């Protein structure tokens, strides 16, 4: 290790052990809540909209949530510089809890849509904060383990949240089910608010309003067009207009950010090749998950003839793995710098193999157990991804870029899922458009989706092997 590195403080925000542990628990509670809200809304969207006679708005209801998070994730990182890391948890957290509380009692479509948007915007503002805080209060060697605990919290929150929400709804307690995610959220707000100093950048910090506007217009135009293109037709004037407006706004955003004194998204970050490659790898590592979430059940039920309950249980082994393994994987990654790129190889290769296997074997005679095993293997991939990419990206950031740099990693992850929806819809519809009920065509459609996921994931694996590994090895050699 060089003398300069030895002189650097090991912890950006030193805290007494008791306070550090409470803040860490607060971060875990925040991610529990994020996961619970996501799965609760996914589970309860149909019952909620059914009560207001608006089942035709399921797609719009879902995309509103996705766009809100995507918009506010990078903005939240910048706002943290202005109002402080603690306050970027406390203020949006309170807004999220209040909107979620109101959501439980409103029974009209437009207010429900507005409240869903507010919840997603507030979540986007603070979603990256637990990852940023974990990087600030822990020594570098302990950050992967902290990330592992956050990944475990997401797995527990998603798994438990969806099950409990379903049980409560079946008992006629829909309102209680919607309120449930606010409990860990409020606990996280209190623990972080009471035990963490409100660190923010010294001096005046300005907000890049033109950049915000360009980002919002770009994301709304492109993401809405991508998500409704399959159903409305890619030549529909509204879809084409959305894409054109979004692309123009994206070009404007780049020009604005290059000239801004305090850019919302510092373009200098993308001049760092290693950081940019990690953003792409992170994007790719999330991409396959939409295929797993939506098209594995279709393959199991429509092609293999499995029951709904069997298809619904496909992710159970994966979920159990992602509850247990991330913390263990994080401790392993923290022991040695080289373990980070090895974890990325595991994360990409063990997502690639199951996607390729499901693409090869999906047919009417295939046992559903192959799907169970394949998805379980992706749980190992996810566990190693969660503890390697974000800590490695943080290590490449200057202290003043920690907030927005970490937020952009989360932004790439959330954007990946939204874009994957559109890409897989195109792949599936291209095979099934002649007759969406034909089993042979459905089989081809599901296979096309899995092949697409496999190819994209292969690109991620190659990036890790040929770019990330050599650069990390070079950096490790220089630091000796």
Distance from C-alpha of 372 to C-alpha of 354, rounded to nearest angstrom: 10
d(C-alpha 399, C-alpha 201), whole Å: 10
Number of domains in the chain: 3
The answer, yes or no, to whether residue 3 has pLDDT greater than 50, is no
Residue 467 lies in a domain: yes
**Range 139-161 burial, b when 16+ CB lie within 10 A, else e:** ebebbbbbbbbbbbbbbbbbbbb
- The answer to whether residues 274 and 255 belong to one domain is no
Which one of 29-33, 104-108, 421-425 scores highest in mean pLDDT? Answer: 29-33
Are residues 351 and 385 located together in one domain of the fold?
yes
Task: Judge whether residue 161 has pLDDT over 60.
Answer: yes
Q: 62 with 290: CB under 8 angstroms? A: no
pTM, full prediction: 0.88
Q: At which of 196, 219, 249 does a domain end?
A: 196
Assess if residue 10 is contained within a domain: no
Q: What's the pLDDT score for residue 480?
A: 62
Q: How far is CA 20 from CA 17, 29, 423, in A?
A: 5, 14, 42
Do the domain assignments include residue 203? no
**86, part of any domain:** yes
User: Residue 385 falls within a domain, yes or no?
Assistant: yes
Is 201 inside any structural domain? no
Kindly report which listed range (7-16, 17-26, 244-253) carries the lowest average pLDDT score: 7-16
Which domain-ending residue is among 196, 221, 239? 196
The reply to whether 257 falls in a domain is: yes
Q: Are residues 456 and 359 in the same domain?
A: yes
Q: How confident is the model at residue 50 (pLDDT cuts 50, 70, 90)?
A: confident
Do both 251 and 300 map to the same domain?
no
Q: Is 125 in the same domain as 212?
A: no
Pair (36, 174) in one structural domain: yes
Whether residue 402 sits in one domain with residue 338: yes
Contact 341/466 with Cβ under 8 angstroms? no
Q: Give the pLDDT confidence score for residue 5 in this predicted structure.
A: 40
Cβ atoms < 10 Å from Cβ of 50: 12
Q: Same structural domain for residues 298 and 330?
A: yes
Residue 183 has a CB neighbour count (10 Å cut-off) of 14
Q: Are residues 26 and 87 in the same domain?
A: yes
CATH at residue 419 = 1.20.1250.20
Which residue segment(s) compose the domain that 56 sits in? 16-196
Question: What average pLDDT does this structure show over 221-242?
Answer: 89
Picking from 261, 279, 297, the residue at the C-terminal end of a domain is 261
User: Are 161 and 214 in a shared domain?
Assistant: no
């Amino acid at each position: 290790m060089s003398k300069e590195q030895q002189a650097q403080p090991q912890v950006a925000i030193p805290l007494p052990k008791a306070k550090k542990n409470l803040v860490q628990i607060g971060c875990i509670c925040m991610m529990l809540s994020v996961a619970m809200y996501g799965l609760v809304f996914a589970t309860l969207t149909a019952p909620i909209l059914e009560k207001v006679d608006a089942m035709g708005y399921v797609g719009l209801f879902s995309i509103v949530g996705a766009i809100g998070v995507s918009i506010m994730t990078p903005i939240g990182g910048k706002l943290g510089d202005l109002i402080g890391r603690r306050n970027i948890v406390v203020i949006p957290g309170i807004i999220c809890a209040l909107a979620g509380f109101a959501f439980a009692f409103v029974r009209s479509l437009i207010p429900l849509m507005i409240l869903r948007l507010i919840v997603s915007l507030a979540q986007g503002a603070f979603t990256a904060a637990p990852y940023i805080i974990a990087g600030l209060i822990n020594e570098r060697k302990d950050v992967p383990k902290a990330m592992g605990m956050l990944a475990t919290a997401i797995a527990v929150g998603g798994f438990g949240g969806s099950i409990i929400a379903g049980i409560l709804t079946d008992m006629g307690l829909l309102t209680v089910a919607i309120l449930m995610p606010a409990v860990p959220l409020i606990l996280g707000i209190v623990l972080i608010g009471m035990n963490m100093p409100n660190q923010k950048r010294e001096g005046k910090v300005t907000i890049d309003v033109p950049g915000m506007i360009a980002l919002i217009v770009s994301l709304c135009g492109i993401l809405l067009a991508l998500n409704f293109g399959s159903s409305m037709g890619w030549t529909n004037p509204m879809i084409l207009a959305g894409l054109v407006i979004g692309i123009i706004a994206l070009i404007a955003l780049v020009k604005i950010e290059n000239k801004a004194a305090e850019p919302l998204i510092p373009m200098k970050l993308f001049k760092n090749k290693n950081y940019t490659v990690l953003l792409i790898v992170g994007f790719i590592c999330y991409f396959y998950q939409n295929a797993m979430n939506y098209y594995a059940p279709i393959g199991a039920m429509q092609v293999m003839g499995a029951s709904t309950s069997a298809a619904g249980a496909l992710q159970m082994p994966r979920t159990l793995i992602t509850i247990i393994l991330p913390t263990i994987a994080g401790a392993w990654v923290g022991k040695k710098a080289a373990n980070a790129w090895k974890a990325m190889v595991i994360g990409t290769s063990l997502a690639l193999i199951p996607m390729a296997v499901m693409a090869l074997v999906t047919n009417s005679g295939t046992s559903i157990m192959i799907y169970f095993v394949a998805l379980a293997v992706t749980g190992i991939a996810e566990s190693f991804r969660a503890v390697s990419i974000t800590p490695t990206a943080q290590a490449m950031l200057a202290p003043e870029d920690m907030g927005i740099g970490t937020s952009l990693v989360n932004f790439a992850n959330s954007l990946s899922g939204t874009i994957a929806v559109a890409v897989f819809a195109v792949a599936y519809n291209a095979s099934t458009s002649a007759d969406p009920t034909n089993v042979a065509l459905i089989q081809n459609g599901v296979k096309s989706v899995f092949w697409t996921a496999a190819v994209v994931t292969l690109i991620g694996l190659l990036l890790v092997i040929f770019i990330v590994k050599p650069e990390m090895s070079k950096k490790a050699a220089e630091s000796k």
